[in-house]
Amino acid sequence: MNLKALRQRCDELLRDIEIPDPFDVRILAETIARRRGRPIRLHAKPSPLGPCGLWLALPDADYVFYETATSRLHRDHIIVHELAHLLAAHEPTDHLDPDLLRSLLPNLDSAMVQRVLARSTYTAVEEQEAEMIATLVLHHAERRPAARDDDAPAASGEVTVIDRLSSTLGGIRSDRRGR
């Protein structure tokens, strides 16, 4: 899939999804859950795999596990990436380590969970879609309607970050940024 087609497909998938303002990943998950007609449960869980996420589709609900040992922005990206798989109607992965399953869902029989997950693995295109959707959602969430271009001159009387740094550190002038 070329990048333009990927972007168009992802834009189409997001067309009817309201991005919370201010952004809250839990509200986004609730929106997607209502749309799908099935609960989504978010679980913070340190992972031995590192900063990543995992979506499990069990009979009663969809479970999204996400890494806690990373920044808020990265956690949001991980969660939105997993939610993107749901939005795009991807099939959950079936290649999960039984020890990982036991650590994530200690009260469930990992063999039963593996049977429920007997589906295909994600393709490269599905991963690209999930990444693109996560990126588009977070980009949209970061936009501010009245944002001022950092290179635009400050309004009369407005103190810029560069001016504050200059007065704090001394010797840095706003006309010499980046040098």
User: Beta 62-66 vs 40-44: how paired, if at all?
Assistant: parallel
pLDDT digits (tens, 9 = 90+) for 13-71: 999 899 999 999 999 999 999 999 999 999 998 766 666 888 888 888 998 989 888 89
Distance CA 126, CA 140 (A): 21
In sequence order, which residues have a C-beta less than 8 Å from that of residue 121 and are 6 or more positions away?
93, 94, 95
Residue 95 has pLDDT above 60, yes or no: no
Q: Find, among 111, 43, 121, 48, the residue nearest to 85 by Cα.
A: 121
pLDDT digits (tens, 9 = 90+) for 116-125: 453 345 568 8
Statement: the pTM of the whole predicted model exceeds 0.75: no
b/e code 91-115 from CB counts within 10 Å (16+ = b): ebbeebeeebbeebbeeeebeebee
Distance CA 170, CA 174 (A): 11
Residue 114 has pLDDT above 60, yes or no: no
Cβ neighbours around 63 below 10 Å, total: 20
Contact 63, 43 (CB under 8 A): yes
Cβ neighbours around 159 below 10 Å, total: 9
pLDDT of 46 reads 78
Cα 161–Cα 165–Cα 170 angle in degrees, nearest 5: 150
Tell me the chain's radius of gyration from C-alpha atoms: 21
Residue 60 one-letter amino acid? D
Domains of the chain: residue spans and CATH: 3-142 (1.10.10.2910), 151-179 (no CATH)
> What crossing angle do the helices spanning 72-87 and 124-142 adopt, rounded to 10°?
130
